């Protein structure tokens, strides 16, 4: 199986292609690395291929903040230029510049 290079990177602000949320990428898996139970919980007609990068996001929608795990095929670059307000962003990132958060000094 050929592993693709990730299209997005840590600190980048993205939005979901279908669902109304956006977030900041804080980790990248080169291919699916979650439980089979999680994968099977996705409706079959929306279930992404496993052989693509998957991204961990500090995500937000209109009503809440959460951690999301999203396939590359379901992400788009966020073009709003607006910050993401997730409360955990400050633990890892500093300022937002040109659609990307800079890693904070001392962040792992």
pLDDT per residue as tens, the chain (108 positions): 555 789 999 999 999 999 999 999 999 999 999 999 999 999 999 899 999 999 999 999 999 999 999 999 999 999 999 999 999 999 999 999 999 999 987 665
Note the pLDDT of residue 71: 97
Q: Is residue 8 part of a domain?
A: no
Question: Which residues pair with residue 25 across a beta bridge?
Answer: 57
- State how many domains the chain has: 1
Q: Is residue 38 part of a domain?
A: yes
Q: Quick check: pTM over 0.85?
A: yes
57 within 8 A of 23, measured Cβ to Cβ = yes
- Counting other chains too, the contacts that 27-33 makes at CB distance below 8 Å and 24 or more residues apart are 27/55, 27/56, 28/53, 28/54, 28/55, 28/56, 29/53, 29/54, 29/55, 29/56, 30/3, 30/4, 30/6, 31/1, 31/3, 32/71
Note the pLDDT of residue 105: 77
Q: Is residue 47 part of a domain?
A: yes
Q: Is residue 49 part of a domain?
A: yes
Quote the distance between the C-alpha of residue 76 and its chain's center: 10
Q: Is residue 108 part of a domain?
A: no
Q: Is residue 6 part of a domain?
A: no
Host domain of residue 25? 13-103
Q: Is residue 70 part of a domain?
A: yes
Q: Is residue 77 part of a domain?
A: yes
């Amino acid at each position: 199986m050929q592993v693709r290079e990730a299209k997005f990177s840590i600190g980048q602000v993205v939005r979901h292609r279908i669902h109304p949320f956006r977030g900041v990428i804080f980790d990248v898996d080169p291919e699916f690395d979650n439980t089979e139970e999680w994968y099977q919980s996705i409706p079959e007609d929306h279930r992404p291929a496993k052989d693509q990068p998957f991204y961990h996001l500090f995500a937000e929608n209109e009503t809440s903040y959460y951690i999301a795990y999203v396939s590359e095929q379901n992400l788009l670059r966020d073009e709003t230029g607006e910050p993401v307000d997730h409360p955990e962003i400050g633990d890892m990132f500093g300022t937002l510049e040109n659609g990307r958060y800079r890693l904070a000094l001392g962040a792992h």
